[in-house]
Structure 1
Amino acid sequence: MSARMDYRFARRLASLEASATAAMTARVAQMRAAGIKVISFSVGEPDFDTPEPIKQAAIAGIQANHTHYTPTGGTLELRKVIAARVSADQGLSYGIGQVTVTTGAKEALYLAFQALCDEGDEALIPAPYWVSYVEQAKLAGATPVTPQTSEQTGFKLTPDQLRASLSERTRIVVLNSPSNPTGAVYSAEELAALAAVLRDHPAIIITDEIYDAISYVPYTRLLRVAPDLAERTLVVNGAAKAYAMTGWRVGYVAGPQPIIEAIKAIQSHTSTHTSSISQDAALAAYTPNPDIEATVAAMTAEFQRRRDLILGLLAEIPGVTCTVPDGAFYVFPNVSALLNRPLRNGKVCTTSDELNLYLLEEAHIACVAGEAFGAPGYLRLSYATGSEEIRVGMQRFREAVLGNDAA
């Protein structure tokens, strides 16, 4: 008789939560395959096509047989162009040794946590937060510390909150602007105030700038107002959002060379590098090109129009309020007034997670519950979809939550 299979998993998985956004995407795909017409506000990717010059660069790479391994962390040409881009963005000088290319910004963040955190460390992650920050910190052995921001501060961390949340165990502080899920954008003054607190603590700072191109207000970066923090700041970004390249899986992390070398050491034993063809595409994306820049600007202008559209429609739904996001392509409405009261057909939801599932089953619209972002009582809706879908989806939302007493 053969030995019994032992499906025993690593202890680090015990507290791991699956990605709520990925789970909702999979659920939508299942429902659509069954013939149900679901309108999705759950996926965080532009609905635009990758700009043509970027696609042509990838095709040229295939024809030139750029189909072999590249150096760990990307080709010299791509890292050189990204280093120039980061230098221009941050107002500082970055060399190619301070940049590594990753398989999306998500891998950049994962590798940073793995390189920097040990058991017993803390990672300070303001809530609401992107779903993977907390889980990646836990996978690296760190304990997430999640100070709760509020609508009153525009979902932005205050200096007092930062100061109160730091401890001798704090290893990493994560800042995300524009924010997923709230669309919050920190001003120069707000970043300078946070920097004043961070100067008194040796934590490594990760500034996630993946939505930097999609800002409807003047955009400022931490290192623009606090260049003295560069020696302990990692800048994470990628091509996914700005250039509608989510499927190409190209991100990067830039920062102090010793940390980048540690990250590349892990890369050398994991992914090694992202697709060589994706790197050719990213080289075109990050090389200055007026046509591509005009396409990105037009895409951002369209996102702003959609933001205004969905905000207006949400305001017409009784029990829903929403702050105005200054960037990214998400709204984060407060739906707490819809809880613990009859909705259509007498349905009562006690949590925003239950409401989210109700909207999926009853109205066939897909959102993501605030619980996934550390903010119960809210929903995240992506408006990276067509205007007509936004109108129809918000009408479904309204009809689904109008209870018998709200006619």
Structure 2
Amino acid sequence: MSVKTEYRLARRLAQLEPSATAAMNARVQQLRAEGIKVISFSVGEPDFNTPEPIKVAAIEAINKNRTHYTPAGGTLEVRKVIAARVSADQEIPYALGQITTTAGAKEGLYLAFQALCDEGDEAIIPAPYWVSYVEQARLAGATPITPQTTEATGFKVTPAQLQAALSPRTRVVMLNSPSNPTGAVYSADELAALADVLRESDAIIIADEIYDAISYVPYARWLRVAPDMADRTLIVNGAAKAYAMTGWRFGYVAGPQPIITAIKDIQSHTSTHTASITQDAAVKAYTPSAELDEAVQTMVAAFHKRRDLILSLLAEIPGVSCNVPDGAFYVFPNVTGLLNKPLKNGVVCATSDDLNNYLLDQAHIACVSGESFGAPGYIRLSYATSEDEIVEGMRRFRESVS
């Protein structure tokens, strides 16, 4: 007679929610395997190929047998080019000891929370927020504090909201511009007003700039506005979005050397480093190049055109309204006008999560519900897909809710 095994998991997992974007992608793959034509607006991934010079650099790395362990945090070559890029971006000099490379910006964020937060600490994460911020804070023992931004402020936290959220326990403040999921981009004046509040605290600012290359308005960087706060700011970025390198898993963290050293110490006991081949590819990506600049500009121009297209089509759907995003490749429409009323076949959706599942089941389009981002009543759509799929997907959306 067999005895059922009871598995005791770590208490820190009790509040952990699986990634909503990853879960939706898994459902899409399952439906496609069943032969259903699903149009996905759920994954934040450029549909462009990695630029050819970057791929060539990776192939050369393999042919030269650069396939062995590297130092924790990356090779000297890759940290040199990242230090140069960050120094140019922020207009502040960064030394090699202030740089570590990671397996994607997501790992960089996770390691930052692990290095900074203890039980009892608080992390201010304005909502709507990227799904992993709050989970990573919780995994590090911190309590997420999530001031709710609104359409009226362009989904950007105000100085008053930030002031109200600060406490003696505040350890981390997250800034994400351009934003996932809303596409909001903070202006220099808006960042300066937040800096005035944060100078009165001792919180560490984590500036997630992963979408910095994809901005349709002049892009203001946190440390260009508040250079005096460099000694308590971590810059997190990576190659995934700007260079269409999501699968390569290359990110980096730049900041004060004691924090970067702590992050590298954690890396030495976990992933050690991102793949050696990826690091060589990143050296090419971050070395100044007119060819790569042109590739990025071509991609951004396509995203800009798609943004305008999907906004025009969403405007034709009764019950849906949408702020104009200034960056990234997401729209975040308000769908409260579709809730608690009969849709096609008399179906009633009480929440945006219900609507999200309805759209997948009835229209075979995949989005991500606002609940996942701390913003019920909204859904996120990624327009990093072809214009034809945007047109067809929005046609399905409109017909399914008519």
- The TM-score bracket by the shorter chain reads over 0.9
Separation (CA, whole Å) in 1 of partners of 2:210 and 2:349: 34
Give the secondary-structure state (helix, strand or coil) at the position aligned to 2:300.
helix
Aligned pairs for 1:370-385 (under 5 A) are 370-385=370-385
How many residue pairs align between the two structures? 402
- Paired residue for 1:386? 386
Separation (CA, whole Å) in 1 of partners of 2:245 and 2:280: 13
Separation (CA, whole Å) in 1 of partners of 2:263 and 2:356: 37
- Paired residue for 1:212? 212
- Paired residue for 1:246? 246
Counterpart of 2:87 in structure 1: which amino acid? S
Quote the offset at 1:3 in angstroms: 7.3
- Paired residue for 1:173? 173
Residues 60-116 of structure 1 show CA distances to partners (whole Å, capped at 9, x for unaligned) of 000000000000000000001000000000000001100000000000000000000
Separation (CA, whole Å) in 1 of partners of 2:288 and 2:223: 22
- Paired residue for 2:334? 334
Separation (CA, whole Å) in 2 of partners of 1:10 and 1:250: 29
- Paired residue for 1:290? 290
Q: Percent identity?
A: 76
Separation (CA, whole Å) in 2 of partners of 1:85 and 1:17: 35
- Paired residue for 2:27? 27
- Paired residue for 1:265? 265
Residues 18-59 of structure 1 show CA distances to partners (whole Å, capped at 9, x for unaligned) of 000000000000000000000000000000000000000000
Quote the offset at 1:377 in angstroms: 0.2
Counterpart of 1:157 in structure 2: which amino acid? V
Give the secondary-structure state (helix, strand or coil) at the position aligned to 1:186.
coil
Q: TM-score, normalized by length of structure 1?
A: 0.98
Which runs of at least 4 in structure 1 moved beyond 3 Å after TM superposition?
Answer: 1-4
Quote the offset at 1:2 in angstroms: 8.1
- Paired residue for 2:274? 274
Quote the offset at 1:172 in angstroms: 0.1
Counterpart of 2:134 in structure 1: which amino acid? V
Give the secondary-structure state (helix, strand or coil) at the position aligned to 2:138.
helix
- Paired residue for 1:405? none
Q: TM-score, normalized by length of structure 2?
A: 0.99
1:17 aligns with 2:17: yes
- Paired residue for 1:299? 299
Residues 266-298 of structure 1 show CA distances to partners (whole Å, capped at 9, x for unaligned) of 000000000000111111000001000000001
Q: For structure 2, which runs of at least 5 residues remain unmatched after alignment?
A: none
Separation (CA, whole Å) in 1 of partners of 2:26 and 2:49: 22
Quote the offset at 1:6 in angstroms: 3.2
Give the secondary-structure state (helix, strand or coil) at the position aligned to 1:280.
helix
Q: For structure 1, which runs of at least 5 residues remain unmatched after alignment?
A: 403-407
- Paired residue for 2:66? 66
Distance 1:338 1:119, change over 3 A: same
Alpha-carbon RMSD across the aligned residues, in angstroms, is 0.8
Residues 322-380 of structure 1 show CA distances to partners (whole Å, capped at 9, x for unaligned) of 00000000000000010000101111000000000000000000000000000000000
- Paired residue for 2:395? 395
Separation (CA, whole Å) in 2 of partners of 1:382 and 1:35: 23
Aligned pairs for 1:346-365 (under 5 A) are 346-365=346-365
Separation (CA, whole Å) in 2 of partners of 1:36 and 1:8: 38
Separation (CA, whole Å) in 1 of partners of 2:188 and 2:301: 22
- Paired residue for 2:36? 36
